[in-house]
Amino acid sequence: MIRLVLPLFVLLSCATVVQARLDETPAECEARYGVVIEKRPALQKLSDPEMLVFTKNGVTIDVEFHEGKAWRITYQKRGMDAEEIESVLMGEASGSGWSKPVKVAGQVFRTSADHSRVALIVPNLHPDSPVALVLATRDFANANRALFDDKQAELVSQGVLQQRLSGKGTDF
């Protein structure tokens, strides 16, 4: 019996190490992940100025905030497997589930059933690189897309890119 229970306990404890929690405050993230090991400039210009970096049980966790709430979380771990990824996704979906995976250019995209969350899974590109799981709110995804569209329109106006015949400027 102990041979069955112990491996199951180890598997569950590893799988629950990185439960995503979008919409948490910096203090809630610190309570969940421990001490902040680094503060970096946010990647998305509409984010709060700093993102927080944590590490817990071999997982590096980058959290970007908007108006004091987590709106993008990236988990990186060498050897992160499908069960760990699925556990994080289920923890974030609040029971609503996720879409079937859509694979594009080696990356996997998923959307929560209520469409409030998006996930991107980036496999390791070589044996020494970690697997990355990026979770974001729909607001982050929309803001990111709007910034992309603005940058693309700017490049079209400068003649760096050609606009497609559709006239939308986003059909590249």
| Spatial distance between the Cα atoms of 51 and 94, rounded to a whole number of angstroms | 24
**pLDDT tens readout for residues 42-78:** 999 999 999 999 999 889 999 999 999 999 999 999 8
Q: Is the pLDDT of residue 81 over 70?
A: yes
Helix axis angle, 2-15 relative to 82-93, nearest 10°? 60
Average pLDDT over residues 87-116: 87
- pLDDT above 70: percentage of residues in the chain: 81
Look at 107 and 125; give whichever has higher pLDDT.
Answer: 107
pLDDT of residue 96: 77
The 10s digit of each residue's pLDDT in 97-110 is 899 999 998 899 99
Give residue 17's pLDDT. Answer: 45
Average pLDDT over residues 89-94: 80
Res 25: pLDDT: 96
Give the residue among 53, 74, 59 at the shortest CA–CA distance from 133.
74
With bands split at pLDDT 50, 70 and 90, how would you rate the model's confidence at 19? Answer: low
| pLDDT above 50 for 15 | no
Residue 134 pLDDT: 95
C-alpha distances in angstroms, 98 versus 9, 61, 85, 150?
25, 21, 12, 30
Residue 95, pLDDT score: 67
Instruction: Please compute the mean of the pLDDT values over residues 83-94 and round it to a whole number.
Output: 84
Query: For residue range 127-155, what is the model confidence (pLDDT) as tens digits?
Result: 777 899 999 999 999 998 888 888 888 88
